[in-house]
Amino acid sequence: MPDTPVTIPEPAWAAFVALDWGSQKHTWSLQPADGGQSEHGSLDHTPEAVAVWAAGLERRFGGRPVAVALEQKRGSVVNLLLGYPHLVLFPVPASMSACYRKTFVPSGAKIDPGDAGWILDLLLRHRDRLRQLEPDDANTRLMQMLVEERRQLVDDKTRLTLRLQDCLKQYFPQLLRWFGDVDTPLVADLLQLWPDLQHLRRCHDGTLRTFFRQHHSCDEELIRQRIEAIRAAIPATHDPAVLEAGSTKAHHLTESIATLRDQIARLERRRDELTAEHPDHAIFASFPGAGRATVPRLIVAFGTCRERYQSAFEVECNSGIAPVHIASGKTDRVSFRRACQKFTRQTFQEFAGQTIPRCGWAKDYYQAHCHRPEQHHAAAPALAFKWIRILFRSWKDRKPYDEQLYLTSVRRRRGLLGPALASATSVEWKTVAGFSKLSEKNS
């Protein structure tokens, strides 16, 4: 099946505009729908300049719809243009416009006014290959920004934690063994009070017991073991330069981690509020393995506009889960899809991984395709491919997931692959020439 957008009936366009955006100035090309010479110009990247430009188009064409193509799906320019209902946006992938320009300019010459012209030509001639931007409602867009920002903050916290671990290995490696996770408030406060082992060993046992209890570590046996380990520990170094530099670095790293931890908690509280109020919450919360962090990500992966996707395959292509078939001459292979929404692909793959220990058929399917650890990165997308089809149907029909209904459907269509899945559906299989086929009992 080709990767083509769904054809949507178009309005009677008044004009077609291509916008080559920039951080300071945008260049544009305009072609009236009733013919005539194309026009070119530029405008500053300010709300005031964009407002004047958009108002001019509205007056000139009497408020009729104007198709605007630009190399941006989200960002400052899109935020500015979405405020004008007569402007209908057509995001153009940067790789598409670059290849289109290179088709006619093989030398690689590139200037901004010319780029706007090529984008306009692409809009005029191949509009059926583009998809109109259909924004979700305000709460869903806010949820999308929050979940993406949270993921970035979690990644930042992970990087700082790894730096803290490396720092502690230089002068205070015992902390890694005693506490395991060094990004906790307990370790941060301990390093603030006792920046190295030498200071920690001078502390009285009663003070240490009080400190651990105040940080919700109330297991007396664990406290005793930690205190004994502190007394028996030997400093990794006595070099004053290493000790001072290490303790200073650990101090600011723990403060940065604490700040990120608070920011993540605030984002999660607001995200959870939006998720609980979202009309699709019950649909995605019904899936195995979908928890507080996964449900909102699944919601924003599909959005609220049911007309956006007409088939599960569109979702699989858009997210990069569906592979790319490359056939040319003697070459015939399936390749990883790189042009996609990376965060959405990550969402589906992580969700698929979370379902393995919580869903019987998903576990069997994964085990049938993953015999060695290095096969995980092939088996997880394959499982995600199946889950997207189930998610899509539940989302499209606005119905929660029913595992028994799914297994009955699979049994009826005889769609399971491999003998390991037979137990999940009571369908018997036999192996013929290395392939799994239905036994005579089920023929």
- With 0-12 / 13-18 / 19 or more C-beta atoms within 10 angstroms meaning exposed / middle / buried, residue 188 is buried
- With 0-12 / 13-18 / 19 or more C-beta atoms within 10 angstroms meaning exposed / middle / buried, residue 121 is buried
> What pLDDT was estimated at residue 428?
41
Q: What is the pTM of this model?
A: 0.82
The values of phi and psi at residue 18, to 5°, are: -115, 135
Q: Are 130 and 104 in contact (CB under 8 A)?
A: no
C-alpha dihedral sign at 337, 306, 68, 142? negative
The pairing of beta strand 66-70 with beta strand 15-20? parallel
* 312-319 vs 294-302: helix crossing angle, rounded to 10: 110
> What pLDDT was estimated at residue 172?
94
What digits encode the pLDDT tens for the residues 74-121? 888 888 898 899 999 999 988 888 888 888 888 777 665 678 888 999
Task: Please compute Rg for the chain using Cα positions.
Answer: 29
Residue 322: DSSP 8-state: S
Beta strands in 86-131 (DSSP E): 87-91
> What pLDDT was estimated at residue 429?
39
Question: What is the spatial distance between Cα 317 and Cα 323, in angstroms, rounded to a whole number?
Answer: 8
The values of phi and psi at residue 396, to 5°, are: -65, -40
The ranges of the chain with pLDDT < 50 are 1-2, 416-443
- With 0-12 / 13-18 / 19 or more C-beta atoms within 10 angstroms meaning exposed / middle / buried, residue 13 is middle
Question: What is the spatial distance between Cα 30 and Cα 123, in angstroms, rounded to a whole number?
Answer: 11
> What pLDDT was estimated at residue 111?
65
**Domains of the chain with bracketed CATH:** 15-133 (3.30.420.110), 141-275 (1.10.287.4070), 285-401 (no CATH)
3-state helix, strand, coil in the chain (%, to 5): 60, 10, 30
